[in-house]
Structure 1
């Protein structure tokens, strides 16, 4: 609460009523990107004098395409889209994280006889290729020394997973929240494990076009300050935040509240996040999913957090 009051005072002192240049800002209707939704719907961006063109995109791929085309200049995306954009040479930089956490990647099973990851050898597992869920599966295979080829991987999207698990089409699904909470609420499966405490933290990052960072640092500061306020609001008012997330995502508020508990909701930049992105990039490079490892010193700009005292 003290931090929230401190940030509000900074807003009143620094921003006045000035309106910044209009930029495009994209985020997904997801629990992981809750800070962006709250900053948008609670007016934290507007309170900073920002005139952002807010776009709510169905998935991270669409945000990536918009960033690449310069249709938007700021975006909240997962670790895979972040790394893919940078590796493709798109002129963006990582400013920080707005949420995430390994615990939100959960392996759900329906068979009570499955009690260990190795029990899934030869079984059909639903996962979405090209997403953080698939990276999580690759990580688990390495950790438990189970070759990926020993699993019968079925490529399905998160909205299809509940039905696939309930009907027996697959024995397990690996997905990020809120899909696992929806599966539990429907009685279709239980958690076998999640990736909490692993080296991968699956951060949602705030990225921006390099040109904007170079020419308009004040707007960047305002956006980050608004997101920090939103994150503080979520932690202080989880029930109200769940209502906002439910409005944006279409989830039941109770599911949104439950799902929030599997995420870290801190805005900023720290070593665990940096290490997770580096490790994820190594996995993607080894699997030939990206052409090169990013030059992290060049593509990360965490200086704003020091400037803001956060």
Structure 2
């Protein structure tokens, strides 16, 4: 799946656009994907990090940071981004991950050792995941699904339903399209390459990752073949 709005840049009251952040302070957990989302938003508005002042902020403190009045905006993911919007009256979304689909993918990653030893078991996990996606996509299951998921994170089903809108769950067929090798955020290869560069540039780790070696579409491909 990929984030489709749950990751947000939230402006303080009186801030109505990304461009209005020029020369202002922004609370963000530096080095996290929220930071990358901010860089993307700035670039799309003809700006860079040099045009703003970044205030390193633990993501779970996003709501309190925005309420303090010390920053003009915060960058965070749900439930922290939503909490900031609720706590600070007059705040608003300035930019979200829905504005750049594929900038933040969620994946299942396993060690090479586990993959070699338990490939058949991991195939079952992948098949189970796509069964879950089919279940979630059936409107008849919506109420039950919200109850199950909400209970896992301790919120009401109604609240969790608002989170669901901010994540784009991919069917196996849709996933195979993003598994194609291409540049840009429409491919998990392209998106991972951009993210990898961001992490190296921000010294999260030193050396670039060999992206093609880290992605294996064969499990999803085999699942689709078995469904025919």
TM-score tier (shorter)? 0.7 to 0.9
TM-score by length of 2: 0.82
What SS does the corresponding residue of 1:212 show, helix, strand or coil? helix
Shift of residue 102, structure 1, vs aligned partner: 4.5
In the alignment, which residue of structure 2 is the partner of 1:177? 78
Shift of residue 305, structure 1, vs aligned partner: 1.0
* 1:252 to 2:156 alignment: yes
Aligned residues: 211
* 1:202 to 2:104 alignment: yes
Q: Which structure 2 residues correspond to residues 183-194 of structure 1 after superposition, within 5 A?
A: 183-186=84-87, 188=89, 189-194=91-96
| Distance change >3 Å, CA 132–CA 235, structure 1 → 2 | same
Unaligned runs of 5+ in 2: 181-185
What SS does the corresponding residue of 1:125 show, helix, strand or coil? strand
* 1:136 to 2:43 alignment: no
| Distance change >3 Å, CA 233–CA 108, structure 1 → 2 | same
| Distance change >3 Å, CA 116–CA 190, structure 1 → 2 | closer
* 1:220 to 2:122 alignment: yes
What SS does the corresponding residue of 1:208 show, helix, strand or coil? coil
Q: Which structure 2 residues correspond to residues 32-47 of structure 1 after superposition, within 5 A?
A: none
Distance 1:187 1:119 in 2: 18
What SS does the corresponding residue of 2:55 show, helix, strand or coil? strand
Distance 1:186 1:263 in 2: 23
Higher strand share: 1
Contact conserved, 1:110 with 1:172, CA < 8 A, in 2? Answer: yes
Shift of residue 303, structure 1, vs aligned partner: 0.5
Distance 2:36 2:207 in 1: 17
Shift of residue 265, structure 1, vs aligned partner: 1.3
Shift of residue 295, structure 1, vs aligned partner: 1.8
Unaligned runs of 5+ in 1: 1-98
Contact conserved, 2:97 with 2:104, CA < 8 A, in 1? Answer: no
Shift of residue 200, structure 1, vs aligned partner: 4.3
| Distance change >3 Å, CA 284–CA 119, structure 1 → 2 | same
What SS does the corresponding residue of 1:108 show, helix, strand or coil? strand
In the alignment, which residue of structure 2 is the partner of 1:241? 145
In the alignment, which residue of structure 1 is the partner of 2:214? 299
What SS does the corresponding residue of 2:26 show, helix, strand or coil? strand
Contact conserved, 2:37 with 2:103, CA < 8 A, in 1? Answer: no
Q: Which structure has more RCO (C-alpha within 8 Å, separation ≥ 6)?
A: 1
Give the alignment partner of residue 52 of structure 2, picking from 151, 160, 171.
151
Contact conserved, 1:178 with 1:256, CA < 8 A, in 2? Answer: no
TM-score by length of 1: 0.62
Moved more, 263-272 or 216-225: 263-272
Shift of residue 132, structure 1, vs aligned partner: 0.9
| Distance change >3 Å, CA 240–CA 173, structure 1 → 2 | farther
Contact conserved, 1:100 with 1:202, CA < 8 A, in 2? Answer: yes
Distance 1:301 1:209 in 2: 12
In the alignment, which residue of structure 1 is the partner of 2:193? 278
Higher helix share: 2
Shift of residue 184, structure 1, vs aligned partner: 3.2
Distance 2:135 2:84 in 1: 28
